[in-house]
Amino acid sequence: MSGLSANLETPHCGKYEQPTGLFINNEYVKGVDGKTFEVINPSDESVICSVHEATEKDVDIAVSAARKAFEGPWRNETPENRGKLLTNLANLFEKNLDLLASVESLDNGKAVSMAKVDISMAAGCLRYYGGWADKITGKVIDTTPDTFNYIRKEPIGVCGQIIPWNFPLLMWSWKIGPAIAAGNTVVLKSAEQTPLGALVAARLAKEAGFPPGVINVISGFGKVAGAAMSSHMDIDKVAFTGSTVVGRQIMKAAAGSNLKKVTLELGGKSPNIVFEDADIDNAISWVNFGIFFNHGQCCCAGSRVYVQDSIYEKFVQRFKERAAKNVVGDPFAQDTFQGPQVSQVQFDRIMNYIQAGKDAGAKVETGGNRKGDKGYFIEPTIFSNVTEDMKIMQEEIFGPVCSISKFKSQDEVIKTANSTTYGLAAAVHTKNLNTAIEVSNALKAGTVWVNTYNTLHHQMPFGGYKESGIGRELGEAALDNYCQTKTVSIRLGDALFG
């Protein structure tokens, strides 16, 4: 492949021009080594197109561009203008909503109706951080009468951002929004499974008016481009979303290079707890949405369902009927809820977990098989008769698979819910206010939902306890991860010292 774009078509947006180059300095370019890789359509396993691959040398070039922009024009850009550019970008996301959603569906396999929600949330996130850009303020701190002290919030510098494939453009906006609002420049690497949306969005960043080098977007593999970013001596901060295994490698690489600041948003094994007094119809809907939304490919997926024993039998019966009704199929069909898993690798990984559950003696209440013989489709799967020590109860499956078990008391379920190494999210379903608050406070998780699930919002911080991560994304909290705090202390008067 030699060109820098491909002519593609989707059933939702029709024909469009897909950029395929690395986006550096506001231009699409080929990689130095001329390498490319294929992008696979998870719905039918066909090749969509090929994109240019970044290697270490390209990472160096992108970082130089980001450094030059950071030390040059971008550093002197007014906060007001940074906000205006982010707002322009948010508007362009909305204007191009159908295109961006179609690209996500094509590349990732998610239902186009869901992808549209992703894109409006991405636009909301960019607009939100556009609003923050001129509200990031310092402080004056009085210590002694002869000193004047102020605290300044400054950008960190060049930020390396490594995103996953489950919500490609939402993650793009979660990373770029706060980094840019705070005055940093970025080199963002998309996931190798889903590079397309990030490259279309890069064109919109240029159209929004961002100067060259401020937002650079590269496609490439974790072990090559991702590793080069985390160990780079001129990247000041790395923000990562993905597996806990890779999160650890990134921290090590940061420690072994320039001690760049690290924020990590990692895996989860989130408990979804249903008390006997819950509104059962609502609880079933949220439990279903909690695990099967985005094909179970959510870091916060409610994959461990705990139901109080008095309603357990009824709940299992109705939940499996509900799950079996989720429409699995073509992402571009109107009524599809669940599309294919993102890749052959993820498909195999999930099918292996399903097999491990069966082998360990768990009971398949519904699902448990692949769906169809082409594309990476898997039936919504519910296991019962599980024990806490089973692999399917401890490890993140990242697919449409959950386990359900019963509990007797509040104390017991809190203990069980907290018994994994993860702590990203959790939920409680109850009508009792005391139960809701007591359990929410006792759960070791960065987000707790009550009578709902997966309802993230860009105004609210998101991140993990324990091995689910370090730092927070979204909300005002995310800005802390993209600012340095500088203390300036001025001695007043002209009395001699000493």
With b for 16 or more beta-carbon neighbours within 10 A and e for fewer, the 35-47 pattern comes to bbeebbbbbeeee
Q: Which residues contact 459 (CB under 8 A, 6 or more apart)?
A: 128, 474, 475
Q: Which residues contact 179 (CB under 8 A, 6 or more apart)?
A: 159, 161, 185, 186, 239, 482
What are the DSSP calls for 282-331, one per residue?
Answer: HHHHHHHHHHHGGGG--TT---EEEEEHHHHHHHHHHHHHHHHTS-BS-T
Residue placing its CB nearer to ligand NAI in the complex, 130 or 177: 177
**Among the listed residues 340, 354, 255, the one whose alpha carbon sits nearest the alpha carbon of residue 295:** 340
Q: By beta-carbon distance, which residue lies closest to ligand NAI?
A: 222
Residue placing its CB nearer to ligand NAI in the complex, 59 or 316: 59
Residue placing its CB nearer to ligand NAI in the complex, 118 or 330: 118
Residue placing its CB nearer to ligand NAI in the complex, 266 or 382: 266
Distance CA 465, CA 230 (A): 22
Task: Report the amino acid identity of residue 206.
Answer: K
φ/ψ of residue 15, rounded to 5: -80, 145
Q: What is the CA radius of gyration of the chain?
A: 24
What are the DSSP calls for 93-118, one per residue?
Answer: HHHTHHHHHHHHHHHH---HHHHHHH
- What tokens were used for 308? 């109080």
What are the DSSP calls for 2-32, one per residue?
Answer: --SEEEEEETTTEEEEEE-SEEETTEEE--T
Residue placing its CB nearer to ligand NAI in the complex, 235 or 362: 235
Strands 215-218 and 469-470: unpaired
Give the nearest distance from C-beta 244 to ligand NAI in angstroms. 8
Apex CA 286: angle with CA 281 and CA 288, to 5°? 95
**Among the listed residues 336, 339, 321, the one whose alpha carbon sits nearest the alpha carbon of residue 285:** 321
Give the nearest distance from C-beta 81 to ligand NAI in angstroms. 30
Residue 244: strand, helix, or coil: helix
Distance CA 67, CA 137 (A): 24
Q: Which residues bind ligand NAI (CB under 6 A)?
A: 162-164, 166, 189, 191-192, 221-223, 226-227, 230, 241-243, 246, 249-250, 265-267, 299, 349, 396, 398
Selecting among 104, 265, 396, 467, the annotated active-site residue is 265
Give the nearest distance from C-beta 139 to ligand NAI in angstroms. 34
Give the nearest distance from C-beta 345 to ligand NAI in angstroms. 7
Give the nearest distance from C-beta 31 to ligand NAI in angstroms. 15
Cβ atoms within 10 Å of 218's Cβ, excluding its own: 30
Give the nearest distance from C-beta 240 to ligand NAI in angstroms. 6
- 71 as an active site residue: the answer is no
Give the nearest distance from C-beta 358 to ligand NAI in angstroms. 19
φ/ψ bin of 112: left (φ > 0), alpha (ψ from -120 to 50), beta (otherwise) = alpha
Give the nearest distance from C-beta 171 to ligand NAI in angstroms. 8
Catalytic residues: 265
